[in-house]
Amino acid sequence: MPKTIEILGRKSLPKPVTTTIAELQTGRFDSLRVCVRGVVRNAEDRGELLGMRLHLGGVGGVFVADIKNIGDMKTNRLVDSEVELTGVVFSYFNLRSELLGFSLVAADTSEIVVLHEGLEDPFSAPVISLQRMRRFSLEGLTLNRQRLLGQVSYFRPGK
């Protein structure tokens, strides 16, 4: 441990590398500042000390992001929004140095850019049939919420 630290000056942060979720899963960007797009699947306010945790998905997979200083941002407004998130990548490895996954850590909400807001009311999404869910389209796969209409049946033998 150093006994003294001398501050030499201040510099701006390095420009983030624009990348994809699939590329982040290679481990190549460990400890680098990156910018990545995704759709927020879940957002939880974990209090002043821990900040906000986002679960994001996109073409290539899913990941978790922690935003440390959230100020007065409402987490529920981010759900189903497409965002561009800038932060530092933390890759997780096992004892054999195999990549298990990664997460992103951002300093504050200024590192979140909302590209397309999600629906405020999830029940206002258009109803689709089960046959149309995740169907091929020239516009690409939708990562936003979809609403199905139907019956759920459940059978539990012996109950």
**Residue ranges covered by each domain of the chain:** 17-120
1-10, 74-83, 136-145: which has the highest mean pLDDT?
Answer: 1-10
The string of pLDDT tens digits covering residues 21-56 is 999 999 999 999 999 999 998 889 887 778 899 999
Q: How far apart are CA 50 and CA 46, in angstroms?
A: 6
Q: Distances from the Cα of 54 to the Cαs of 13, 124, 137, 153, in angstroms?
A: 23, 23, 27, 32
The string of pLDDT tens digits covering residues 61-109 is 889 999 988 777 776 778 889 999 999 999 999 999 998 999 999 988 8
Element containing residue 92 per DSSP (H, E): strand 82-93
Q: How far apart are CA 44 and CA 82, in angstroms?
A: 16
Q: Does residue 139 surpass a pLDDT of 70?
A: no
> What tokens were used for 90?
């933390």
**Superfamily of domain 17-120, CATH level 4:** Nucleic acid-binding proteins (2.40.50.140)
**pTM as predicted:** 0.76
Q: Does residue 140 surpass a pLDDT of 70?
A: no
